[in-house]
Amino acid sequence: MRARGPLLVASGFLLVAVLLGVSIGPVAISPQAVLSTLLSHLGLVHSKVSSVDQAIVWDIRLPRVVLGCIVGAMLAAGGAAYQGVFRNPLADPYLLGVAAGAGLGATLVIVAGHDASALLPVAAFVGAVGAVALTYLLGVSGDVRDSTRSIVLAGVAVAALLTAVQTYLQQQHTPQIAQVYNWLLGSLSLAAWSDVGRVLPYVVLSAVVLLAHRRVLDVLRVGEDEARSLGIHPARTRALVVGAATLGTAAAVSVSGLIGFVGIIVPHTVRLAARSSYRVVLPVSMVAGAAFLVLADLLARTVEAPAEVPIGVITALIGAPFFLFVLRARRTERGAP
Amino acid sequence: MTDAAVAFEHLTVRYGATVAVDDATGQVAPGEWVGLVGANGAGKTTLLRSLAHLEPHQGTVRIGGRTLSGLTHRQRARRVAYVPQKPELPPDMTVGEYTLLGRTPHLGYFAVESPGDRRLCAGLLARLDLTAMADRRLATLSGGELQRVVLARALAQEAPILLLDEPTSALDLGRRVEVLELVDELRRERDLTVVSALHDLTLAADFTDRLLLMSGGVLVADGRPREVLREPVLAEHLGAPVRVLETADGSLVVVSPARRRHGAAPSTARAELHGSSAAESVTSHG
C-alpha cells in the first residue's frame, strides 16, 4: 500500500530524464552547467555559464521539458483514473472523445488559416471538453441499469462522429493537410513558458482531484454494487473523476497535440512493476508519465535531427515493446507460462 | 412495528414485464438470523439486494425504524453490510487492503484510514484467523479463506445488519458448516441481525431462527424451520419432490430422493449428513 518505494524509483527516473532532456541537443550543455543555470534563475547562486548557454537552457529546452513533464503526468494520471472509474484496462484519457474533439477544434482553426495563432489551443481545449460533455449527456440518458457501458458506447459514437467531420474538413483543405497531421501526431516543439503557464492551473487542479480519489478508486475495484453497499456513489464519483481528468487532459493536448499510448502503458507498467492499488498507481504514474514523455520528446527531436519525429510515434515505438517486456517479465516471475 | 431490525412492506421489484419480487412483506427482529429459501429464480437474491438498496423497488424498507430510501449511501452502509454471492475480488489486492475497504462508510469521501481503522481491521483479521494472511494477495487464497476475508470486510463496516447472499455456495460441505458456524458465533458476539439466502435447506434448518420461503417472487411461507420445511409445502414450491427427515438428535435433513431406476427401495435418499448430526436412524418428517 505504501507508495514511497515506487515513488522514489520513479522520481529518480524523472530526474535523469529532465537532466538528459535539458543537456542534450544541437549544443551540448553539461549537467553541471544546467544545474548552475537553474539555480541562478532561482536566485540561489550566480552562474558562470555563458549567457547563450543559459538562454538555451532556460528559454528553449527547459520550457519544453517542463511542458513534457506536465503533459506526460496528466495523460498517465488521466489514463489511470479512467481505468479506475470505468473498470476497464483499455480505457485511456481519450475514451470519451477528448482526442476527437480536440482534433476537430484544431483542424477548424488550421483550415481557417490561423494555424500559429493563440486560437489553436483554445479551439482544441473547447473541442475536447465539448466532446466529453456531449458523450456524458448522451450516455447518462441511455441505459439506466448500466450507465458505465452506455457512457463508453456514447464516447465511441461521439468520437467517430467528430473524427468523421474532422477528416472531411481535412480532405477539403489539402494544402493544410500536413499541418493538421503534425498537430494530430503531437509535438512539443513550440513549447514556451507561456504554454506552461496556461496549462498548469488546469493540470494542477485535475491532479489534486484525481489524487484525492485514490482510495475511492480502490473501493470501486470491488465493483459498482459493492462500492455502493460500502457507501460510495459510483455515478457521482465517475462524473467527478471524468470531469477533472477531462479538464486536465484537454488543457494538456491543447498545447501538445494528440500524444497517444501514455495513458495506457504508464499506469499498467506501474501496476505490473509495483502495485495495483490506486494509492500507488496514481502518484507513481504521474511521475513516471512525466519522465516517460520527456525521454520520448528527447528522442523525437534527436533521432532525425534537425528534423523532428512526431512524439506520438516515439511513445508507441518505445512504449509498446517496453510494455510487452514488463508484461512478460511479470508473468515469468509469477510462474505463469 | 418500529422495533424490528429490518422491516419491508409491499416490496415489489420489476424487471420490465417480469416481477422478480411480488408484494413481499415481512420483518426481522434484532439479533435474529433469517434464512431466505426457495428454488433458483424465486427472488431470494433480488429481495436481499432490495434490502441493501441495490435494486430499484416499490414499497418501503425500514432499517431500525428508518426508511431506507431516506438514508444517504453512507448512512445506509453504516447500518447494513451486504455480501453478494460472488464478491468481486481484485486478484492483486491484499487481504489487509480488502478488509480496510470495509471502513469506507466511516471515512470522509477524500479521507484515508486512520490508525484506529487499521487497529479495528487488524483485530477482525485476528478474530477470523487471517492475521498471517494479511499481506497475501486475494488470488492466492482458497475458497474458505476468501469467504472469511469477505466476512472480515463486511464486519469492518460495523453495521448491525448483515445481508449474506448464498455465503456458502462456492464451498465444500465441511467449509460450509465452518463458515455458517463462524457467522453464528459472530452474530452472538456482536449482536448482529443476519438475513441470508441459503440454497442448502438442511444447513438453513440447522442455523437459522426463521425461514422465509419464496416461490415465483412471492413470500409463500414464514416460520420456524420446522414449520416451513414440510414435505407438502416444499413439493409445491420447489418444483421437485423432497423428503424431510429427522435425525435421532432432532435435526432436520432435507434431501431429494433419487428417482427409482433399478427397482431401488423408494426410501433410498441421497443424504449428505454432516459431522455430529449424522444419524443412525432417520424418520420422515411430514
pLDDT by residue (tens digit) across A165-205? 999 988 888 888 888 888 888 888 878 888 899 899 999 99
Q: Is some CB atom of chain B closer than 8 A to the CB atom of A143?
A: no
Q: Is some CB atom of chain B closer than 8 A to the CB atom of A271?
A: yes
Q: Per-residue confidence at B112, pLDDT binned at 50, 70, 90?
A: confident
- Closest partner residue to A218 among B77, B80, B101, by Cβ? B101
At A7, list the grid cell.
Answer: 515513488
pLDDT of residue A3: 77
CATH superfamily of B6-233: P-loop containing nucleotide triphosphate hydrolases (3.40.50.300)
pLDDT of residue B257: 76
pLDDT of residue A53: 84
Closest-CA distance, B105 to chain A, in angstroms, reads 5
Report the chain B residue with the minimal C-alpha distance to residue A229: B77
Mean pLDDT score, B101-106: 94
Q: CB A231 to CB B77 under 8 A?
A: yes
Q: What are the boundaries of each domain within chain B?
A: 6-233, 241-286
Q: What percent of chain B has pLDDT over 70?
A: 89
Q: What percent of chain B has pLDDT over 90?
A: 58
A256 HSE (CA, 13 A, CB side): 33
Q: CB B105 to CB A231 under 8 A?
A: yes
Beta strands B6-15 and B18-28 are antiparallel
DSSP B256: P
In this predicted structure, the answer to whether residue B268 has a pLDDT above a threshold of 70 is no
Q: CB B104 to CB A230 under 8 A?
A: yes
Give the E-state strand segments of chain B in sequence order. 6-15, 18-28, 33-38, 58-63, 66-67, 80-83, 161-165, 193-197, 210-215, 218-223, 243-246, 252-255, 283-284
B57 neighbors B63 (Cβ within 8 angstroms): no
Q: What are the boundaries of each domain within chain A?
A: 4-333
In this predicted structure, the answer to whether residue A324 has a pLDDT above a threshold of 90 is no
* Euclidean distance between CA atoms B191 and B195, whole angstroms: 13
Backbone phi and psi for residue A231, each to the nearest 5 degrees, phi listed first:
100, 5
Which residue did the predictor score with more confidence, A197 or B274? Answer: A197
* Euclidean distance between CA atoms A113 and A104, whole angstroms: 14
Q: Per-residue confidence at B276, pLDDT binned at 50, 70, 90?
A: very low
pLDDT of residue B283: 55
Q: CB A229 to CB B87 under 8 A?
A: no
What pTM does this model have?
0.86
pLDDT of residue A144: 57
At A311, list the grid cell.
Answer: 512524439
* SS3 call for B29: coil
Which residue did the predictor score with more confidence, A158 or A333? Answer: A158
Mean pLDDT score, B169-187: 88
Q: CB B93 to CB A215 under 8 A?
A: no
Mean of the per-residue pLDDT values of chain B: 86
Sign of CA dihedral A224, A229, A235, A237: negative
**Which residues of chain A are within 8 Å of residue B72 when distances are taken between CB atoms?**
231
Q: What is the pLDDT of residues B37-96, one digit of tens each?
A: 998 889 999 999 999 999 889 999 999 889 988 999 999 999 999 999 889 999 989 999
Mean of the per-residue pLDDT values of chain A: 87
Beta strands B243-246 and B252-255 are antiparallel
pLDDT of residue B159: 94
Q: At what angle do helices B173-190 and B143-156 cross, to 10 degrees?
A: 20
Q: CB A225 to CB B107 under 8 A?
A: no
pLDDT of residue A325: 81
* Euclidean distance between CA atoms B183 and A261, whole angstroms: 48
* Euclidean distance between CA atoms A170 and A174, whole angstroms: 7
Q: Which CATH class is domain A4-333?
A: mainly alpha
Q: Per-residue confidence at A329, pLDDT binned at 50, 70, 90?
A: confident
In this predicted structure, the answer to whether residue B2 has a pLDDT above a threshold of 70 is no
